[in-house]
Amino acid sequence: MKRTNRKTKKNVITIDGPSASGKGIISKNLARIFGWNILNSGAIYRSLAFLSVKNKVSYLVESNLLFLTDQLNLKFKIKKNKLFIILNNQDVTLNILDEKIGIIASKISIFPSLRKKILNMQKNFYQPPGLIAEGRDMGSIVFPEASVKIFLDASLKIRAIRRTKQLQKKGFNVNFKDIFFKIRDRDNSDINRKIAPLAPDSQALIIDSTLLNVEEVIQKIIFYTKQKINLNIN
């Protein structure tokens, strides 16, 4: 995939990393603190997975996904410190959180034409004064010109513990062992796919959050961001 100019920096903070590394909660908090727009790019793949299941079309056929992409109208809203994912005017936040949807999302994310097609959609989420963009290829492919790039990692075990707790809190009937293996499989396919595989961009600051809490990660990112750009926050 063609890379755009990295030299003209943009007020974009990219947060890439494996499943359940904390990208979601960190991005939401940063977007709220900075008053910037947010892009949860995983929600695009998850929404396509959700629509293919809902419309009973095979997600293994790329043309089906390209067709569904044309019908995709995705918005992110932060209210009372919660992120809501609105797909075609419907709140699908919980529907797409299911790990079954995550697995399908990972399977469909290997299609090159699909990735190309949603590239502009993702870029359009940028709006002054800035954007927090999270996913797998935000710093490497979608926003190579981002002024701050973060790669958020954590051990597989702690990620599985966090995701199990998150899903249980939302009422999903899941257990640690099952989530552990599902996340491990998803990591493998995201890391080993040919197009835009999960990997830190060469300019990314790598943060291992295994032993850090949310506040500590946020403070690290704010400290790092202040060294890169002028931020109007305390």
**Residue number, 52 or 106, with CB nearest to ligand DC:** 106
Residue nearest ligand DC, Cβ-based: 42
Stretch that binds ligand DC, among 72-80, 105-113, 164-172, 211-219 (CB under 6 A): 105-113
Contact status: 28 vs ligand DC (CB under 6 A): no
**Min separation Cβ 230 and ligand DC, Å:** 28
**Residue number, 162 or 186, with CB nearest to ligand DC:** 186
Q: Which amino acid is at 37?
A: N
d(CA 152, CA 17): 5
Among 137, 140, 152, 221, binds ligand DC (CB under 6 A): 137
Neighbouring-strand partners of residue 79: 82
DSSP string over 144-168: TTEEEEEEEE--HHHHHHHHHHHHH
Contact status: 38 vs ligand DC (CB under 6 A): no
Between the CA atoms of 82, 133, 138 and 20, what dihedral angle is there, to the nearest 10 degrees?
Answer: -20
Q: Is 66 helix (H, G, I), strand (E, B) or coil?
A: helix
**Residue number, 45 or 232, with CB nearest to ligand DC:** 45
Q: How far apart are the first and last CA of the chain?
A: 39
**Residue number, 11 or 190, with CB nearest to ligand DC:** 190
Q: Are 25 and 213 in contact (CB under 8 A)?
A: no
Residues 39 to 58 in contact with ligand DC, rule: CB under 6 A = 41-42, 45-46
Contact status: 136 vs ligand DC (CB under 6 A): yes
Residue 23: both structure tokens together: 């990208």
φ/ψ of 178, rounded to 5, equals: -60, -45
**Min separation Cβ 118 and ligand DC, Å:** 9
d(CA 202, CA 112): 22
**Min separation Cβ 142 and ligand DC, Å:** 7
Stretch that binds ligand DC, among 131-139, 153-161, 200-208, 216-224 (CB under 6 A): 131-139
Contact status: 19 vs ligand DC (CB under 6 A): yes
**CB 54: neighbour CB atoms within 10 A?**
11
**Min separation Cβ 9 and ligand DC, Å:** 20
| Helices 42-54, 62-70: inter-axial angle, 10-degree rounding | 100
Contact status: 135 vs ligand DC (CB under 6 A): yes
The alpha-carbon radius of gyration of the chain (Å, integer) is 17
**Residue number, 46 or 149, with CB nearest to ligand DC:** 46
Residues near ligand DC (CB under 6 A) are 19, 41-42, 45-46, 102, 105-106, 109, 135-137, 186, 190
